[in-house]
Amino acid sequence: MTDSFGIAELAREFDVTTRTIRFYEDKGLLTPVRKGQRRVYMPRDRVRLKLIMRGKRLGFSLDEIRAMIDLYDVDPTEVTQLRHFIDKILERKAALERQQADIAETLAEISRIEAQCSSLLKEKQKK
């Protein structure tokens, strides 16, 4: 395995732009070493980027992702991080389930209104 990565390598691997990686760097989520003008990312940065991308896919904010990632520095056993992650996952799951119920209710209401409007239209077209 490579000991370091360039920004283009990481961008290709994670299918993001180099601008995205620089953004995460500006936010303090990634801390590459500088060799002149070149950014050199270490395996730690690669793992952090992987966690950032996973967190984004799951719908977490960058602040939530940062809090979860930073817990590793506090507890290298990852127990604290895993407990926090489980709590966040359960919160996210509950929010998505509420959204799903709201969407189902809205779709049912739309279907009822559509049926009413179609029925009214048929009546009006008969006259």
- Quick one: tokens of 106? 């809205």
- Sequence-ordered list of residues with C-beta below 8 angstroms from that of 105, at least 6 positions apart, any chain: none
Residue 78 belongs to a domain = no
Last residue within a domain, chosen from 43, 58, 73: 58
Give me Rg for the CA atoms of the chain. 23
Residue 1 belongs to a domain = yes
Reported as a single tens digit per residue, the pLDDT across 65-77 is: 999 888 877 877 8
Q: What's the pTM?
A: 0.75
* Count of structural domains, the chain: 2
> Are 95 and 46 part of one and the same domain?
no
Q: Give me the domain span that covers residue 122.
A: 86-127
Reported as a single tens digit per residue, the pLDDT across 83-109 is: 988 999 999 999 999 999 999 999 999
Q: How far apart are the first and last CA of the chain?
A: 77
Residue 105 belongs to a domain = yes
Task: Kindly report the CATH number assigned to the domain that includes residue 6.
Answer: 1.10.1660.10
Residue 79 belongs to a domain = no
